[in-house]
Amino acid sequence: MDLLKAALINSNNNATIAIAEYMSGSEKEFVELMNEKAKEIGAFDTFFQNTNGLDTNYPEHKTTARDLAIIAKYCMNNEIFKNIISIKNDYIIINDEKVDIFNTNILLFFDYIKGIKTGFTKNAGHCLVLYSERQGLKLITVVLKSEENKRAEDILKLIDWANDNYSNMNIVDSDKIFKTIKIRNGSSEVSLDLYPQTSLTQLVNIDDKIEIKNETLNNDLILPIAKGQEAGKISVYINNENVKDVKLISKNAIDKPIITQSITFEKKQNPKKVLIFLLPFYFLIFIFIIIKNLFIKG
């Protein structure tokens, strides 16, 4: 770990040789592994002859800005590497003595700069590979052959230009209703909300023409509707080029409604029948009262 810190933070060239000898037995054998890895990850215009990048006595030791960006992106997937290249200052132990080390990347004092590495040779000039996160845009920027005391200025111009002209746009959001359609259910209609099946976030230029077209809907939908049922499709175009087709689905299930009808019959009361019922009733009461009075008098 101390050797990695010495190499990545403080640019100690002898630390890279020590790492190579420890890992492979010799720097030459380790460089062979470096070249194999470069080809494996797509850095096809890179050829290493040593571990520290010094090229005065190594005329075939070459790379490109693009390849350095590819290598940097690969390295950023390693958490140990990612942590070390963001450290401003630290210390290592050499022969039981504490030695302070300081990062040669002065741009780390900006919060949005997260690494990666400086470099210099007479042939390559002043070089810098930088990783930044600003305004939601993650960038790996490379400057080679810069003038003395100019590489920081040059690379900041590139980052500013990228942030002014590019952004990650959420073109399709699977959590937002794209369209509401009506489904016939007999004489009535049921509303169905359609959502994109997947989201699409794309790096776009401010001048890019973004369109959602070729919208097709399933007009034969009938109840019930299952959760996740496909109901259509849309196509996303950037600068007239189809970048993705997205299905439209229902996120909620809709059951087929049960139609019930309650029918009650109200009996119309006939006044004549009511009168026929009431007359004998009152007559009986009248007779009862007379008999009762006679009984009392008797």
Q: 101 in helix, strand or coil?
A: strand
Percent of the chain with pLDDT over 90: 73
Cβ density class 44-68: b for 16+ within 10 Å, e for less:
eebbbbbbbbbbeebeebebeeebb
- Please report whether residue 292 resides in a domain: no
Q: How does pLDDT run across 229-274, given as a tens digit for each residue?
A: 999 999 999 999 999 999 999 998 888 765 555 555 455 556 666 6
pLDDT at residue number 81 = 96
| Domain total of the chain | 2
CB 296 within 8 A of CB 290: no
Q: Do residues 23 and 86 both lie within one domain? A: yes
Q: Do residues 28 and 116 both lie within one domain? A: yes
- Please report whether residue 284 resides in a domain: no
- Please report whether residue 184 resides in a domain: yes
Q: Where residue 28 sits, what CATH number does that domain have?
A: 3.40.710.10
Q: Where residue 204 sits, what CATH number does that domain have?
A: 2.60.410.10
Q: Do residues 8 and 98 both lie within one domain? A: yes
Among 67-76, 108-117, 145-154, 210-219, which stretch is predicted with the lowest mean pLDDT?
210-219
- Please report whether residue 291 resides in a domain: no
- Residue 63: give the domain boundaries: 2-122
Q: What's the rounded Cα separation, in Å, for the pair 60 and 66?
A: 18
178 to each of 142, 199, 221, how far by Cα in Å?
40, 11, 17
Among 86-90, 233-237, 247-251, 277-281, which stretch is predicted with the lowest mean pLDDT?
277-281
CB 30 within 8 A of CB 52: no
Q: Do residues 96 and 33 both lie within one domain? A: yes
Q: How confident is the model at residue 275 (pLDDT cuts 50, 70, 90)?
A: low
